[in-house]
Amino acid sequence: MLGEDMSFEPSSEDAPAAAAPTESFAAADVEDDEADFFANSSVPMSVETASPSFSSPSAPGTPAAIPEAIAKWRAERDAKIEAQEAEARTQAAEMRKEAAAALEKWRSERNAKIANAARANRDAESALKAKESPSGATDVNPWVRVADNVDLTTKGQRSTKDVSRMRSVMVQLKTNAPVRSGVNV
């Protein structure tokens, strides 16, 4: 045990009978068999990848002949595609023209509305200035102007609070202004 050689060499009596043919089978034999298989097959091999390449069966560098039916179909398809693209271009041009006309119409309407609103604002401002006294003197009763600026009608009230007392006080102050002694009005 201590001085014995530990290498194992199988003897013919230790090996089973079926293992004998596989011992003589070498890796070089496998590579040769694969090369023979692909060399005899009808599928061309790519040298770099050692796998079948699925290119045309014609020799490299020579143009493949295209059948007449396929060439005719391709020509018809190309013509059809070109016609569709031309139709799409004309439709796009028409849509751009219509959009430009619609945009110009919208701009002119918008400018007209702006001009009308500006004219209405100028008219309202001139009416308000005409309503004021030309000399700049105020009315004897200042509550008249206050009542003019406040809506004293009961229609269309948005608030839920009762403001009837305030309205009645303002109407009363408008009609009967309090007289303050010693103050020049």
27 domain-assigned: no
What's the pLDDT at 152? Answer: 76
What is the per-residue pLDDT across 56-109, written as a single tens digit (0 to 9) for each? Answer: 555 555 567 889 999 999 999 999 999 999 999 999 999 999 999 999 999 999
Residue type, 27: A
119 domain-assigned: no
* pTM recorded for the entire structure: 0.38
60 domain-assigned: no
183 domain-assigned: no
125 domain-assigned: no
What's the pLDDT at 35? Answer: 55
12 domain-assigned: no
What's the pLDDT at 59? Answer: 55
141 domain-assigned: yes
87 domain-assigned: no
Q: Which residues of the chain have pLDDT under 70?
A: 1-63, 133-140, 155-160, 180-185
Q: How many domains does the chain have?
A: 1
Q: Which domain holds residue 172?
A: 137-154+162-177
What's the pLDDT at 185? Answer: 47
